[in-house]
Each structure stands twice: as C-alpha cells, then as structure tokens.
Amino acid sequence: MGDLTAEDRPHASCCERRPHAGALPPAIPGFSMTSSPPTPNFTPGPTPNGHLAPRPASLFAARARRLRELAADAALADWLRFVAHLADAQADVQRLLDEDIRAAGCLDAAGHLDLVRLPALPLWQRAAVLLAERIAAVDSPAAAKAARALLALDDGTREALALRVLGGETRAEDLHGAPLACAALELLATGAAALARPQIHTGIGKSCPVCDGPALVATLETSATSGLRYLHCAHCNTAWHHVRAQCTHCHDARGVSYQSLEKAEEIPLWRAETCDACHAYLKLFDRTKVRELDPVADDLASLELDLALGEAGYRRTGANAYLLLLGEHAGA
C-alpha cells in the first residue's frame, strides 16, 4: 500500500456529521503521511454554473456500471456488486415512478426539499417495496436478506427506519433493511432535486442548496466547467460549485492540503482535501481522468483512503449511507 502523499493547498472540507463508531472496518496498519510543497497560485477558470441538477433517468444505471467496473479488482467486490444491484433496482423503479415523483410535490413553494418529509409519503413506501421486490430476485444472500427485512415491516416501522437512516442512527435490528430504505430515500430525493432551481449567490456554501444535506465528495469537472470544484450532495445527488481556495467547513485558506495514496507525477483520480485547522477531510475525484466516475461508487471503492486519513488523525465529514452500513452488512 502506498503512503499518503500531500500536494497543493486549495480547500478541504468538513461537514456536520462524523461517521458513527464502528461504521468503517478497522484501520489497515502501515499507512503514513508525507507532504509536498503547496501550489502557490491558481489559474482563473471558467465561470461556474451555480449548481448541477441530477439526471435520474441515467444516474442510477450509470452508477451500476461504474460499481461493477470498480468491483473487478476491489477488495470490497461483493459489497460493490450488492450496491450495483441496488442501483439497477433504482434505475428500474425510477423509470416506473418518474411521473409520480414529478407530481408528488416533494419541493416546497421555495423549491426546497425537506428530506424528513419523504418517509411519510405513500410514494416513498411504494418505492421501498418496489425496490425490495426487485432485489429479492437477485441471486445473492445479502440481497435476499435485505428484501425480506424491508418487506416484513409495516408502514410505520418502515418509516421509522428511514428516519433513522436519515439521522445516521441505525440500530442493530436495521442491519438488513437499511440499505433499501436508503436507496428509496435517494430515489425520491434525486427525482425531486432534478426539478429544483435553487438560487446560489456564492461559491462557499457547504450544504446542498436543494435539501441542506452535507457534501459526500467533491469532483473536478470537465468540458465547460473544467477545473471547477463541485460538491455532491449525500442525499439528493445535486452538485454545487465551491471555490477551491478555502475549507468548505471552517473556511480556513491556509491549512488545506491534497492527500492521496499514490506517489505519482500525475495527479491521481482519488484524493482528499484535508484541513489542518479543523482536522477534517473531503474526498476529491477528478472527472477529467475518468469521465464515467460516480461520486457514490468511487467513494465506496476508495475506502482505503478513508482508513489512511483516519489513522492520520483526520475525520470524515459528509457520510455515505451505504458506507456507514458496510461494517454491519458485510458481516451478515
């Protein structure tokens, strides 16, 4: 395993929530951190779009493909394939419920999405059941357990499970049903966010402009937005622009570095932005290297980077709900 290496000093990022104890597997021994000098200047880039709306019609199918590609040589191959099955089911149910999601009125008059309202909607219950029915057909013990667990719950218990998932407060009894509850929440939130037109006036917001969710990861974008950093919502898949010269959590502009597991001349696909002022980090993925990267899929596949950063004393901020469930689910 390569050492963590540090490059330039743009912005790190920290969100509100820390992963719960035990959410990640035990740290792998042998990681260490080295630093290289910061990059002193930045070249001005193109004018950013304030936000990039998700495209639910293609997002989940593309994620499933990316997960299977990453699983080909990953230590967590079985887990990545399980989440790929979830993404397949999400793509199928999204096509079925697209018009219903558009008509559901999930957004308020100001175009804001209140995530905690979603589990109370009959449409969320329907989406959860449809996802479970499709996962039940997958030839996988983990998928079968997940489907049985969710389908065995009554509506009220299922709603309570979804609220715990949103709050990052899952219990031992939620072990198998939580991934499907999470997938159903993401499905509705993404469909609603595709319709939102938030007003963004600055490039320093740390929360999603649609649902106020934390950033899951950041990406460096391509084509017309090349070189610009966008934060990606952990809940609704909205992306919003954030400047690259200060920490997205504490706004410090001095103690931020890029960290990676690769010692290479070229900038790697997966890095993390760490902040020595608040000791938190946000992953940064470079879409100019792999256009088909998916924030959720690549986040799961780069778990070793999380482990190394944790051992180096940094804490993760925005939580990937599928990642938080990994430690429990992998042992099921």
Over residues 253-308, the pLDDT tens digits come to 788 888 898 776 678 899 998 888 888 899 999 998 999 999 999 999 999 999 99
Residue 166 domain boundaries: 56-193
DSSP 107: B
Q: Say if residues 261 and 305 touch (Cβ distance below 8 Å).
A: yes
64 and 139 co-located in one domain: yes
Residue 50 pLDDT: 77
Residues in the chain predicted with pLDDT less than 70, given as ranges, are 1-48, 200-205, 223-226, 245, 264-265, 324-325, 327-332
Q: Say if residues 318 and 216 touch (Cβ distance below 8 Å).
A: yes
Residue 45 pLDDT: 52
Question: Residue 314 belongs to a domain with what CATH number?
Answer: 3.90.1670.10
Chain-centre distance for alpha carbon 157: 25
93 and 180 co-located in one domain: yes
Helix, strand, coil tally for the chain in percent (to 5): 40, 15, 45
Out of 176, 193, 210, pick the residue that ends a domain: 193
Residue 76 pLDDT: 87
Give the three-class secondary structure for 316: strand
Q: What's the pTM value of the predicted model, to 2 decimals?
A: 0.84
Q: Say if residues 208 and 235 touch (Cβ distance below 8 Å).
A: yes
Residue 235, C-beta contacts closer than 8 angstroms, at least 6 positions apart: 115, 166, 185, 186, 189, 208, 211, 213
Residue 180 pLDDT: 95
Taking the C-alpha atoms of residue 115 and residue 135, their distance in angstroms, rounded to an integer, is 24
Question: CA nearest 231: which of 299, 289, 283, 167?
Answer: 283
Taking the C-alpha atoms of residue 174 and residue 149, their distance in angstroms, rounded to an integer, is 8
Over residues 33-53, the pLDDT tens digits come to 444 333 433 444 556 677 899
61 and 185 co-located in one domain: yes
31 and 128 co-located in one domain: no
Residue type, 161: L
